[in-house]
Amino acid sequence: MKRFIILLTILLIVSSQESDAQKKRSVRAYDAFNAGEYYDAVDEFKNAYSKAKKSDKETRAEFVFMIAESYRMINDPRNAETWYKLAVRSAYSRPEAQFWLASTLKKNGKYQQAIEEFRNFKQIAPADAKADQEIRACELALEWQRNPEAYIVEELKELNSKASDFSPAYGRDDFGVIYFTSSRDDAKGNKTHGATGQGFTDIFESRLDKKSKWSIPVPADVINSEFEDGTPCIISDYKEMYFTRCEAGKREEKGCVIMFSKKSGDTWSEPEKLEILGDSLVAAHPAVSPDGLTLYFVSDMAGGFGGKDIWMVTRTTGSKTWSKPVNLGPDINTGGDELFPYLRNETTLYFSSDGLIGMGGLDIFKATAQPDGSWVVQNMKAPINSSADDFGITFENDNERGIFSSTRKGRGNDELYSFEFPPLKFSVTGLVKDEKTGSPIQSSVVQLIASDGSNLQAETGAGGDFRFTLKPDVDYIFLASRRGYLNGKEKETTKGQEKSRDFMVTILLTAIDMPIELPNIFYDFNKWDLRPESMVSLDKLVETLNDNPNVTIELMSHTDSRDTDEYNLELSQKRAQSVVQYLIEKGIEPERLLAKGYGESSPKVVDAEISAQSPFLKTGATLSEQYINSLASDEQKEIAHQINRRTEFKVLRTDYESPK
């Protein structure tokens, strides 16, 4: 009995010690997480999870969720996805685990899966509107991937390291010097950041050599400290640098300030703190206007819209005193984070956000200031943006090229990428065909007439084809001609085109060896006045005559056979004359026009096109009164009479010269 009591006492002591040890592991994990040391928190929570009793499913589920949260906070979406999936499957799953699983799938580029998981979240939390915005974001991301912008994006391998490299700024007007932020081994600070597990960042410098290769980056002189230094901003004269300095580390959180340094020759001055906020407030990510009088920055100070917002301060020329901060408002700022502003000019601001509709985590947005003080904000879309974090963009002044930062390679580290919008290239490939037969017309001459004054000429090949190179922002006319045909034309324009394009045009030429029917010429019964719906076809004839200034024509009007020959002849003559009069009023010279009424004397001969539309009429048949009377029904007879009622023209001469 004594032995049993002694053994029981020992087991209770061991159990109590294990319980105390587990509590300590749990406390260490939560302390690390709450201190922002997410990198360390991953290992602490994993250790606590592995030691937790399998029977304590609620505690184990909580540790799984916190491991996923820690991975999310250190920007490791691949591992976060794995642990969020485990958290969602648990009987003790939180609703937010479902939301963050969907968000992580989105950040990993798995948009269709993300849509389904956001829909699952809507079932759990139907009142939360975030899911609808994220579903729309995934749908747009898929569309932007299918139809990317024309930017060419390439990794800058000469500048990137195994650590994080981000937030570039050009340091010279020829863009041959670049400053950027990096946590690589050469950084001055020897502390480790608890949130990332990497060393403190410094500002590094690199230069282009004669072969247009970037040199090995080196730390910028004077600028760097033992703390975290980064996100440089250099104003347009390249003599002033603004950057962020954060005094943070393990168990250390003293906040971030904006520093300022001037350049004399090749040397930067000792940095000074910019006094824009109180000591207890965070100011980071400076962006300064070209004149140095307006400063944009990021802060989580009170009065914002949620996470970190972009704010603005101003000063007058010669003053070191900045105005009271002004929030950029709801056009820019959201309940998420708005970071890394870049001011390209006085009215164009670029920044990154995870609160606006985007493709992944942080997306880069372009904001254009409006006269009323509002902003028009546009997502930069793919390939500038991706499912990962994209941020810290800079341009070569007004040129559509520069450098930005991204985690798109999936390693979790920030890397630098170049981008360039290639010059727009346009061309046209065309075919010249016979309007009636559809056959290609070889050896026709195609003239290009451009709004910029240029004029080119080409001859079609055996397939009736031609090709021209086009210029941006120009209107074009392509005029085709061939002996035995009326000239034909097509129009295209490169104005307003934002992407390179190869246009396709087909020019139809009409042979002049047979009368040419004018479709849709209508008159009221027993009248010769043109009805308004006839004007479209006649205006097309006006255009044809203007395109063929050496042509004279005979306007031919035909009636059906349902009246006397004399009446039909007089009616058709008046109708033909009404067409001629309309053409004269539109500026066509009377000498080029002859009106002639044929009454019922020239019935229509059925061709393949008519037969296809009215199969009861056989190809080659002449629609004489006798033939029409032989048709099976009144409806068929009416159709045949209508075909006979037509207006045509035939070419009389092709050598007319205007006396003007």
Phi and psi for 26 in degrees, rounded to 5?
Answer: -65, -45
Tokens of 319: 């003053």
- Our separate counts of H helices and E strands in the chain read 12, 32
Burial letters for 38-70: b for 16+ Cβ neighbours within 10 Å, e otherwise? bbbbbebbbbbbeebeeeeeebbbbbbbbbbbb
Any bridge partners for residue 579, and if so which?
none
At 278 the pLDDT is: 79
d(CA 352, CA 431): 47
Topology match between the domains 24-146 and 426-509 = no
d(CA 51, CA 594): 104
Residue 324: name the closest of 257, 279, 256, 277 by CA: 277
At 53 the pLDDT is: 84
CATH 3.30.930.10 fits 157-420, yes or no: no
At 7 the pLDDT is: 45
d(CA 236, CA 345): 10
d(CA 402, CA 394): 6
Q: Which amino acid is at 162?
A: K
Any bridge partners for residue 394, and if so which?
403
Phi and psi for 193 in degrees, rounded to 5?
Answer: -80, 125
- Terminal alpha carbon distance of the chain: 134
CATH of domain 516-653: 3.30.1330.60
Averages of pLDDT over runs of 10 residues in the chain (660 residues) are 46 48 79 88 89 86 93 92 94 92 96 96 90 96 95 96 95 96 83 71 95 94 92 92 82 76 92 87 92 94 93 91 95 96 94 96 97 96 97 95 93 89 94 95 96 96 96 96 95 92 96 88 73 85 93 92 89 92 93 94 91 93 93 92 90 89
For the chain, give the number of residues. Answer: 660
* Sign of the torsion formed by the C-alpha atoms of 604, 608, 612 and 618: positive
CATH 3.40.50.720 fits 24-146, yes or no: no
Judging by beta carbons within 10 Å of its beta carbon (0-12, 13-18, 19+), is residue 426 exposed, middle or buried? buried
Alpha helices in 233-372 (DSSP H): none
At 11 the pLDDT is: 40
Domain ranges of the chain: 24-146, 157-420, 426-509, 516-653
At 25 the pLDDT is: 76
Tokens of 136: 């729309």
CATH 3.20.20.140 fits 426-509, yes or no: no
d(CA 468, CA 462): 17
Tokens of 589: 């010279």
Tokens of 346: 């006085």
Rg (CA), the chain: 39
